[in-house]
Amino acid sequence: MDFYSKFVKRREILNSLLCVGIDPDVTKLPSHLEKFPDKLYVFSREIVDATAEYAVAYKPNIAFFEAFGSKGIEQFEKLISHIKTNHPEIPIVADAKRGDLDNTARQYAKFFFKELGVDSLTLSPYMGSDTIKPFIEDDSRMVFLLCLTSNPDSAELQQKTFSETGRTLYREVAALSEKFPAKNVGLVVGATHPKELLEIRKAHPDRIFLIPGYGAQGASLEEVISVCGKNSLVNSSRSIIFSSSGTDFAEKAGKAAASVTEQMRKLLG
């Protein structure tokens, strides 16, 4: 089943848009996990199993694994395998923010889509359309282009205006996405920009949005849901996965995911 079909099915079953971000910051892991040589995997696996009832998608961030070299990558691979084996109905968005020339892009695509078998990947579109095409040659896959991100300094580049078109860089990226099928290319739009989020949604109603910035980064769920539309994944990472630093961390994460899901259901109607 392709990413789009998985996403729509989970969204309709759960009446939710919750994407659970898996960011196993080693400085925040419960201390009792120190005894495990593969603690990143153990932590992430427990979070996944505790939240699977509520997750429309998972977004594991490879940076938290890459920091530990080959041992970290091995744990990332184990996590992807665990999700695919035990929760195959839940789409996986690998948060890797790749983007490079055609021949290099093909190698990234091979690793994430063929070797790991994830459903989707975040990309930087800075180098243009030809760097996106290799990732969607398999039309069952999805990529999310960094469009308007949630970090404070995103405006330094993303909100600069092109003199030729009068459009901001983020609007140019959103327009770029229209060169590709909506089932294959979506947009990353931060929850911390609700006005711009609504603007982009009105201009691109068919695009799937991946929306970071809700939860620990301070954006209001009510505000986000009111403007993003149902073609969205609203990501929550730290406020779910670090709900507890004790031995009950997975249980508390499950309860936090349940709470967010309940809020979303009320807002979605």
Q: Please tell me the predicted confidence (pLDDT) of residue 269.
A: 87
Q: Which residues is 122 bridged to in the sheet?
A: 144
Model confidence over 83-133: pLDDT tens digits? 999 999 999 999 999 999 999 999 999 999 999 999 999 999 999 999 999
- pLDDT-derived band of residue 81, with 50, 70 and 90 as boundaries? very high
Which pTM value belongs to this model? Answer: 0.96
**CA angle 214-126-189, nearest 5°?**
20
Going by C-alpha positions, the residue among 136, 147, 211 that lies closest to residue 175 is: 147
Active site residues: 97
Residue 217 pLDDT greater than 80, yes or no: no
What domains lie within the chain, and their CATH numbers?
3-268 (3.20.20.70)
- pLDDT-derived band of residue 213, with 50, 70 and 90 as boundaries? confident
Model confidence over 136-184: pLDDT tens digits? 999 999 999 999 998 888 888 888 898 788 899 999 999 999 999 999 9
Q: Please tell me the predicted confidence (pLDDT) of residue 39.
A: 98
Whole-angstrom distance, CA of residue 168 vs CA of residue 158: 7
